[in-house]
Structure 1
Amino acid sequence: MPHRQHPIIRFYFKIGLIPQILLGLILGITLAMVSKDAAMSVGVLGQLFINALKSVAPLLVLVLVVSSIANHQHGKKSNINILMILYFVGMMSAALLATFASFLFPSKITLAENIQEIGLSPPSGVQEILTTLLSRMIDNPVNALVQANYIGLIIWGVGIGLALRHASSSTKIMMADLSYAISFIVRIIIRFAPLGILGLVASTLAETGFGELANYAHLLLVLVSCMLIVALVINPLLAFLVMRKNPYPLVFISLKDSAIPAFFTRSSAANIPVNMEICKKLKMHEDTYSVAVPLGAAINMSGAAVTITVLTLATVYSMGISVDIYSAVLLCIVSSVCACGASGIAGGSLLLIPVACSMFGIPNEISIKVIAIGLTLGVIQDSVETALNSSSDVVFIGAISSAIKHKDGAKA
């Protein structure tokens, strides 16, 4: 006789993650309004969720980096170098915009701890940050895993991945399978995000009051505004520099046909067939888009660069740490590199926030809480981020294809 699930459990897994998180957010707010004692008691759900993320995030970063580099395939030489430059410039520009917006409209969030309570010593400037980065880069790999030293894990991941590029195909397949397995565990943990957010929101509001909701709204407004500026100003400007003609017809097509589906699927990988069809319909250069669309879905993450930068600076401001211009530029570079490694799951960019936070000496316990806050905002933030990432692929590929056609026409 087949096992029958309880109707409540069946309903829970049937509805999407976004409605679940929204429901958890509403229940958390309601519980904090009705009973502070009950709200504080369900805080254990939030703590369990944070601990689960804390335990899996370091391993996820290491395995993803190793697998992506080890399994990298040399594509056709179809202007991919130019496209890679566009991708990085786009992400760097997005991070710079996010930094500028964070300076103009600084966001603060309640993290329950402050510098004095946890004994945090803020860096005095960029020299100390660079020294800290260098020391973390050469950390023992086992210690890097235990201490969640993300900088060290990335360095070891790059080194191991480069070495495994010369390994047998079965070894590379094993690394890809391991990457999938760890990502699958993360997906399971993320499925419990509504319960974790219920506990976090309820306990936070019971402890700090409802003024925290205004902080969340401010943070979300900065995030979404930056992403809209990237989509409507920065990406068209970069496209114009390549194609030398009005880019907005291409931009609006990409927003309508690519961004809208990506907004609801919240997955750049799931939107690959959509982008392929758009490129084919617009008669773009086939040798370029056949390679560039899957590549862009993996590494072109301007939205992730915005998310990592804004949330990291919100954490820094909340901890009372001052940021000079040199540290900000370094953060933009780190955020752009981290964005390339954003995993393909919903909220994947949030898992790389500890890498950027570690620049400023912020401990893992604090940055993991920021991930949980980001998941609360992810009802809107992650959808907009994915829409920006996916539509940017079409804009950049279209710009290069237009330049190729113009060049071929000039030769003819």
Structure 2
Amino acid sequence: MKLALHWQILIALILAVVMGTWSGVEGSIFGVHWLAVYTFIGTLFLNALKMIVVPLVMSAIITGIANIGDSGGFGRLGGKTLGYYVMTSFIAIIIGLTMVNLIQPGVSDNPAPQLVNDASVSAAVEGKSAGDVIEVFLRMIPTNIVDAAAQGQMLGLIFFSLLFGFFMTKIQGEGAQTLKNFWQGVFDVMMLMTSLIMKFAPIGVFGLVAASVAKTGFEQFDNLALFFVTVAGALLIHFAVVMPLILRFIGGVKNPWLHYQAMLPALLTAFSTSSSSATLPVTMNALEHRAGVSNRVSSFVLPLGATVNMDGTALYECVAAIFIAQLFGVPLDLGTQLLIVLIALTTSIGVAGIPSASLVAISIILVAVGLPAEAIGLLLVVDRILDMMRTTVNVFSDSVGAVVIAKLEGEQHVLVTKHF
């Protein structure tokens, strides 16, 4: 019987802590330092993640926008759906941004972690600093899209992909179908490559965490505990405060808590699987048979939401990036934090609905603002439970969107007691 991925990662974490503590910086085998072995393994895994970033994000955004256009989604229903997704993801990111700046989980008297690349993190961030709000928006339009891809300027690539996908829906004939088939093929291949790389996640996690423990011991674990509390608290606010307010005041649902009861099977499935895609059938069933949403709305809103609406993931990406900056003692100005917000908002569209796929999106943000991608290894210590939490928030936000849109479309039998 094959061991589930999350158990493999947990075992890898335990082994990494044991080996990193035992070997330290000086330990060696046959003349080779253990630290060099850990670093080699971790770097290979990070390189694999970075390798798929550009094609995965571009193909996901382009095919997502094109599919909305093909289904007539740029009409009334599509406009409401996309408006809801952008609104809730933005609110989630702002909650995370506020919490991480108030609590400052990465600020401590401990020295900054020593990672694979010991170049000055402050200098790297300074070199990529957004400077001010205007500069952030200038970055959205690259002068050379190929150079932007080579330099990892993801904001420009994302903007280009959104435009390309939109205008792909405006052309007709054989050329339109050829383009759609091409980008869909690229996306399908990139999803397979992502799944393959994630199979090696336990080995990569071992290398990253073992190297971190060998260099810094347990100095960062207090910060990680506070980081866990920060993310969990922000997710709870979005889940238990923002969502019912949206149901009540935008959807007109008199008793929002009925929706929590209706969606309980989907929420439990999301929490246990950490996969919004795997939970999709359960979510649709709960929405239609327990919440009373029509198939017309649920069959459009939910599959789209499982692809592009990732409130919990966007929140987590934002908190994680700023937490890592705090760990390294790097102050982030308003422009750089706005850059993180924009990239978190847009990259959450391209995150695959599978466990721990947000590692790819986090690496995009870290590279974009000049922070070391190797720091992902620190987050993996607490990532598994947070992954379960943010997936639950993702799925619940999709379901709330379906209810709100159904109510705005005039459906009268949504969330009445007789459905459950």
Counterparts of 2:102 and 2:228 in 1: how far apart (Å)? 15
Farther off after superposition, 216-225 or 325-334? 325-334
Report the CA distance between 1:85 and its aligned residue. Answer: 2.6
The CA deviation string for residues 157-193 of structure 1, in whole angstroms up to 9 with x for no partner, is 2333234333332431232121111121121111111
TM-score (norm: length of structure 1): 0.85
2:113 corresponds to 1:110: yes
Specify the alignment match of 2:320 in structure 1: 311
Counterpart selection for 2:205 from 197, 207, 225:
197
Name the residue aligned to 1:274: 282
2:37 maps to a residue whose letter is V
Is residue 311–residue 370 contact of structure 1 (8 Å, CA) maintained in 2? Answer: no
Tell me how far 1:394 sits from its aligned partner.
Answer: 1.6
Q: Which of residues 16, 21, 32 in structure 2 aligns to 1:28?
A: 16
Give the count of matched residue pairs: 391
Question: Aligned equivalents of 1:91 and 1:210: distance in 2?
Answer: 34
Partner SS state of residue 104, structure 2: coil
SS at match of 2:254: coil
Check conservation: 1:298, 1:340, Cα contact below 8 A: yes
Contact 1:48–1:196 (Cα < 8 Å) also in 2: yes
Matched, 1:63 2:51: no
Give the CA deviation at 1:120. Answer: 2.4
Q: State the partner residue of 1:290.
A: 299
SS at match of 2:275: coil
Identity of aligned residues (%): 25
1:59/1:396 CA distance change after superposition, 3 Å: closer
TM-align CA RMSD = 2.8
Which residue in the other structure is 2:310 paired with? Answer: 301
Instruction: Specify the code of the residue in structure 1 equivalent to 2:382.
Output: L
When structure 1 is superposed on structure 2, of 373-382 and 176-185 the one drifting more is 373-382
* C-alpha distance 189-291 of structure 1, shift in aligned 2 (>3 A): same
Change over 3 Å in CA distance of 1:121–1:99 after alignment to 2: closer
Residue type of the alignment partner of 1:131 = E
CA shift at 1:23, angstroms?
0.4
> Among residues 375, 390, 398, which one is paired with 2:395 in the alignment?
390
Question: Please, which runs of 5 or more residues in structure 2 have no aligned partner?
Answer: 29-33, 107-111, 415-420
Residue in 1 aligned with 2:153? 149
Letter in 1 for 2:93: A
Output the CA distance in 1 between the equivalents of 2:62 and 2:79.
Answer: 22
Task: Tell me what 1:171 maps to.
Answer: 179
- Cα gap change, 1:87 to 1:156, in 2 (>3 Å): closer
Q: TM-score if structure 2 supplies the norm length?
A: 0.83
Deviations 1:2-31 (A, max 9, x none): xxxxxxxxx6xx211100000000000111
Separation in structure 2 between the aligned mates of residue 162 and residue 395 of structure 1, nearest angstrom: 26
Residues 62 and 157, structure 1, Cα contact 8 Å, conserved in 2: yes
Amino acid corresponding to residue 308 of structure 1 in structure 2? E
Contact kept in structure 1, 2:294 and 2:406, CA below 8 Å: yes
Structure 1 stretches of 5 or more lacking a match?
1-10
